[in-house]
Amino acid sequence: MLIECQDLWKIYRLGDVEVQALRGLNLSIEQGEFVAIMGASGSGKSTLMNILGCLDQPTRGRYSLNGVDVAGLRSDQLAEIRNGQIGFVFQSFNLIPRTSALENAQLPLFYRGMSLREQRAMATSALSRVGLQGREGHYPTQLSGGQQQRVAIARALVAGPSLLLADEPTGNLDTESSREIMAILDALNKEQGMTIILVTHETDIAAYADREIVIKDGRVLLDRNTQAGARPSPSGA
């Protein structure tokens, strides 16, 4: 089991108001799954993603990633987990401005103390895996939105993570680019067995996943298999 969440609680305090973003959420995800997480804003899906991505810690409950209980780890240990096991793809790409595609893709390796030559070799191959060979020297401003997101994917997978978290990866893209990005993610899942968790509110994007989880009020409302043949109608959610 790659991900196991048991009775996950996250409680924020905004002034005097206590916000319960997660209320005893339970979830298990196996290695190699392609999961779409859906839910209205305020449902707690962002909080869940932050916790799954080891950017945040749950207030209560257990979250184990690859058999390691993440709760209670120090910030440096979390950084190491993010660096080695998790790749992030954001809605707004979040590339470092005025820095070449190659250097952006190198970034996770940079924090591993790897030699520069190794970093470059791995980043170059990651870029070619997303179809950006020959654009290593391009700056984000010289790339289209779809290309920028592909650089971000290269960055996410360069370090060989076991989990890829994509938060609305197509939210800022046109239909054509969205399809390209989803094709890349799909290929990563199908051909390399990479576990992908996709947050989206677009049903046609969610349809690429094999499993759909709907979050509401900090709990799992619906969890169903949508593998080929069992795909729901768009209004199913």
Interface with another protein by CB under 8 A: which residues? Answer: 50, 53, 55-56, 75-76, 79-80, 82-84, 88, 90, 94-98, 107-108, 110-116, 119, 155, 159
The residue (of 28 and 77) whose beta carbon lies closer to another protein is 77
Q: Rounded to whole angstroms, what are the CA distances from 103 to 114, 122, 135, 192? A: 13, 11, 11, 24
User: CB 207 → another protein: shortest distance, Å?
Assistant: 27
User: CB 112 → another protein: shortest distance, Å?
Assistant: 7
User: CB 7 → another protein: shortest distance, Å?
Assistant: 22
User: CB 75 → another protein: shortest distance, Å?
Assistant: 6
Pairwise CA distance, residues 133 & 191, whole Å: 20
User: CB 192 → another protein: shortest distance, Å?
Assistant: 19
| Secondary structure class of 120 (helix, strand, coil) | helix
The residue (of 97 and 229) whose beta carbon lies closer to another protein is 97
222 backbone dihedrals φ, ψ, rounded to 5°: -145, 135
Both tokens of 200, joined, read 């989206």
Task: Determine contact, residues 44/12, Cβ cutoff 8 Å.
Answer: no
User: CB 79 → another protein: shortest distance, Å?
Assistant: 4
The residue (of 63 and 88) whose beta carbon lies closer to another protein is 88
The residue (of 75 and 233) whose beta carbon lies closer to another protein is 75
The residue (of 106 and 226) whose beta carbon lies closer to another protein is 106
DSSP 8-class letter at 43 = S
The residue with tokens 């069992």 is: 230
- Residue spans of alpha helices (H) in the chain: 45-52, 75-85, 101-110, 116-129, 145-157, 175-192, 203-206
Report the residue count for the chain.
237
The residue (of 155 and 211) whose beta carbon lies closer to another protein is 155
| Secondary structure class of 84 (helix, strand, coil) | helix
The residue (of 21 and 173) whose beta carbon lies closer to another protein is 21
**Dihedral angle, C-alpha 236, 210, 60, 43, nearest 10 °:** -30
User: CB 118 → another protein: shortest distance, Å?
Assistant: 9
